[in-house]
Amino acid sequence: MERLLRNQKVRNALLQILFVGALALLVIGGALVARQNLIDQRIVSGFDFLYKSTGWDMNFSLFPVSSRDPYWWFFLNGIVNTLFLGSFGLVLATMIGAVVGLARTSTNELAQLLGRAYVDFFRNIPLILQVIFWYAVLTRLPPPRNALEGAGFLLSNRGLYAPFPNIGVAALLVIAAALVAAVALPVWLGRTGRLSTPPDKRLPLKLCAAAAALLCALAAVLLGRLPDAPLLDMPGLQGLNVRGGMRVSPEFMALLVAMGIYGGAYIAEIVRGGFKAVGRGQVEAAQSLGLSPWRIFSLVRLPLALRAMLPILANQYIWLIKATTMGIVVGFTDFFMITALTINHSGQTLEAIFILMAGFLLINMSLAALFNRINRAIALKGNQVRA
């Protein structure tokens, strides 16, 4: 026995068995206690509850949801809400971050100072405090009767009312796709190697492609507009409330603004780091080739900086998606809040937590995989000296 314990291989195996066994014991013990507790409270474990109707409602959803709908539909809408808020938050944060980051890397000292003040101020205040602050501001705006008006928008304590086109949902999707194509097609045409015309003589082709895409969008507008209604549905005051237009709730706005501002401060630092990572030799080489400042920026500094910042940016994006869980402090029904409500109402604690973990794992992993692909696609090939 003693000799057996002295044997390195046996000891290693024993250690591993002990470690994994202790963890497994912890998990199994927890599960057993939980099962007993659930039986005591007469809760049937298992995922059957997903098909029951909830009996409560969501205050924000992109698809129609009512209290008679089953739990799985609520979870799905929760995930959609999280992704919806997350993607708008990412876009806003990236735009703010790009502007502030460029200001911080510019040669202008006043712009640098402004960018630095922004980053230092907003990065050092917790996100949740910013969310609560904006929510407090937005819900204390004047009531709809005295709403702030400007350019067809109405801002009141019920939220922001914006003009919305009177166009069917399908047509709206077609228009969005056509607009994306109008930008993406010319870019693709400029780069593809499948055409016989040389890249510098493709301008007419690009213009034609963009025009065709825009024509498609226009056709969709004309075909898809609702009959007997003006093209734009303008919000207007009727009695004590606002009718028409599209309403953006204060909850959504508070989260979006806070995520944009806070995430923007972090992304600005990433942008700055990316530009700092571009070797000075690269810029000097470009200068000695006689490139104009704009071409140095767009052809040398930006592409190199983008490659340097992409991996860190991916982490920040994943962080921001996770930050949508702050929705629960203002009552925005995101994925996490749906989980919390499910636990409160149905008592299916373990199942709901399992769905939450699986959902976030899925979101995080797909985002990480997407960024890894982008990273690989744009990585510099070969072994150039980059400093």
Which residue ranges make up the site for another protein (CB under 8 A)? 12, 15-16, 19-20, 23, 30-31, 33-34, 37-38, 103, 106-111, 113-114, 117, 120-121, 124-129, 132-133, 136-137, 140, 322-323, 325-326, 328-329, 336, 339-340, 343, 349-350, 353, 356-357, 360-361, 364-365
Name which of 45 and 166 has its Cβ closer to another protein: 45
217, 182 Cβ separation under 8 angstroms: yes
The residue (of 247 and 322) whose beta carbon lies closer to another protein is 322
For another protein, the closer of residues 161 and 275 by Cβ is 275
Beta bridge partners of 164: 233
Q: How far is the CB of 145 from another protein (least distance, A)?
A: 19
Closest distance to another protein from the beta carbon of 18 (Å): 10
Nearer Cβ to another protein (34/211): 34
Distance CA(110)–CA(91), nearest Å, equals 26
| Token pair 């999707």 in the structure block, residue | 173
Lookup result for tokens 């409330």: 241
> What are φ and ψ of residue 108, in 5° steps?
-85, 120
33 vs 91, beta carbon nearer another protein: 33
Cβ burial of 239 (10 Å; 0-12, 13-18, 19+) is: exposed
User: What burial class does residue 258 get, using C-beta atoms within 10 Å of its C-beta: 0-12 exposed, 13-18 middle, 19+ buried?
Assistant: buried
Element containing residue 279 per DSSP (H, E)? none
What is the closest distance, in whole angstroms, from the C-beta atom of residue 365 to another protein in the complex? 8
Measured from the CB atom, is 17 or 222 closer to another protein?
17
Q: Which is nearer to another protein, 38 or 205 (CB)?
A: 38
Beta bridge partners of 162: 246
Closer by beta carbon to another protein, 35 or else 68: 35
Residue 169 CB, nearest approach to another protein (Å): 31
Closest approach, Cβ 331 to another protein, in A, equals 12
Minimum Å distance from CB 50 to another protein? Answer: 18
Which CA distances in Å does 169 have to 172, 175, 220, 226, 369? 5, 10, 11, 10, 30
Q: 238: which strand partners?
A: 241
Other C-beta atoms within 10 Å of 348: how many? Answer: 23
State in angstroms the smallest separation of the CB of 294 from another protein: 11
Distance CA 181, CA 208 (A): 12
Instruction: Give backbone dihedrals phi and psi of 167, rounded to 5 degrees, phi first.
Output: -130, 145
Q: Nearest-CA neighbor of 324 among 340, 312, 339, 335?
A: 335
Cβ atoms of 144 and 154 closer than 8 Å = yes
Q: How far is the CB of 264 from another protein (least distance, A)?
A: 16
